[in-house]
Amino acid sequence: MTNSSLDSDEKVFQGRVLAAAIRIGLVVLFAFWSFKIFQPFIIPVVWGIVIAVAIHPLYEKLLAVLNDRHGIAGTLVVLLGLILLIVPIVLLSDTLVDGTKLLADGLKKGTLYVPPPPESIESWPVVGPHLNTIWSLASHNLEEALSQIEPLLIDLGSWLLSAGAGAGLEILQLMIAIIIAGVLLAHASRGHNTVRKIAVRVTGPRGGELANLATATIRSVAQGVLGIALIQSILAGIGFLLVGVPGAGIWAVLVLFLAVIQLPPLLIIGPIIVYVFATSDTLTAVVFMIWGIFVSVGDAFLKPLLLGRGVEIPMPVILIGAIGGVISSGIIGLFVGAVVLALSYKLFLAWLNEETELNQVDSESEKPVAKDTT
């Protein structure tokens, strides 16, 4: 082969490498550009997929009633979801606003009365003596007590304002997610086929099985974790409203947070029970205490009914997913994080078990076959 032909082949090779590099660069550029454009919608879309998968069995029943009218069924799901989201928020917000107005009026007119603390508070470990001192001072001289904790109140107010602004944005994201869920449900059959095709392309022949596993995991977490947390939060909020607890909406949201990360809601309800005993009559306080304990331990009865229907997920996985989701994506990440990490955990186990099964098959095939001596 002559030098000229070698130079020609080298130039052709360099040209092909350059063309491939340009094409790869363009693909990466457009992929990155598309990601940046789509990035604000990632959380609503993921949450919309979670909602759609979780409520699909109910959607099928609604579709049967409506004679397979997918458009009407999807629209009804969106409307019902928005109502279930907006109505409690409005009610709890009104309660919070009214409580804040009463508190401000009481401070302005000097009519706000703080009852003396129960004697048992002083015996509480660590915080008991300090809390008893501040509470006793507030019962005798509220202005002096507020002046002592003024820096804490200022920091708390700033945090509440920023948290309220963030919560408003996340509620908007959740509303968008509900609309996305309705659209996905209206095209459920087409979407299911698309997901299975993608799963097969990515993971091979077991793609369909992994897609079914993902569906079961999402429904399990949605029913056994998120559903129970919502039930506990709603029941706790009803109790707070009936006994007139100030800021009932905030406390209900905190109960929801603790329930999702698998901590007992009694951590929030317990101090409120003490407050109700100090401010209400004995009968009301006792009834509220029974109600609060029932709400806190209710997950022990509901989880075997709901979580047992799907795939069991270890509680640490839910806890880490919920906390990590809150840190990375705010309140809506509380739900998405738990579902995504639980799904990743089950997919990892499926992959791990598949490798173990393959190793067992290989080891059995390598065993020598015993000769027939008969």
- pLDDT by 10s per residue, the chain, length 374: 555 665 676 777 777 888 888 889 898 998 899 888 888 888 788 888 878 887 888 888 888 888 878 888 888 888 988 887 787 777 666 666 666 666 666 666 655 666 677 666 766 666 677 777 777 766 766 666 666 666 666 666 666 666 666 667 777 888 888 898 888 888 877 777 777 777 777 766 766 776 776 777 777 777 777 778 888 888 888 888 888 887 777 788 788 878 877 778 888 888 888 888 877 888 888 898 899 888 888 777 776 666 545 556 676 777 687 778 777 776 666 667 777 787 788 778 877 776 565 555 555 555 555 555 54
Looking only at Cα atoms, what is the longest distance across the chain?
Answer: 107
**Percent of the chain that is helix, strand, coil (3-state, to 5):** 85, 0, 15
Give residue 41's pLDDT. 82
With a threshold of 0.85, does the pTM exceed it?
Answer: no
CB 336 within 8 A of CB 47: yes
Q: Position 8: which residue type?
A: S
Question: What's the rounded Cα separation, in Å, for the pair 18 and 137?
Answer: 79
- Closest to 222 measured CA to CA, from 50, 341, 346: 50
* E strands, the chain, in order: none
CB 187 within 8 A of CB 70: yes
Question: What's the rounded Cα separation, in Å, for the pair 278 and 273?
Answer: 9
CB 308 within 8 A of CB 299: no
Question: What's the rounded Cα separation, in Å, for the pair 130 and 122?
Answer: 8
Domain boundaries, the chain: 42-351
> How many whole angstroms from its chain centre is CA 127?
31
Question: What's the rounded Cα separation, in Å, for the pair 266 and 254?
Answer: 11
Give residue 374's pLDDT. 47
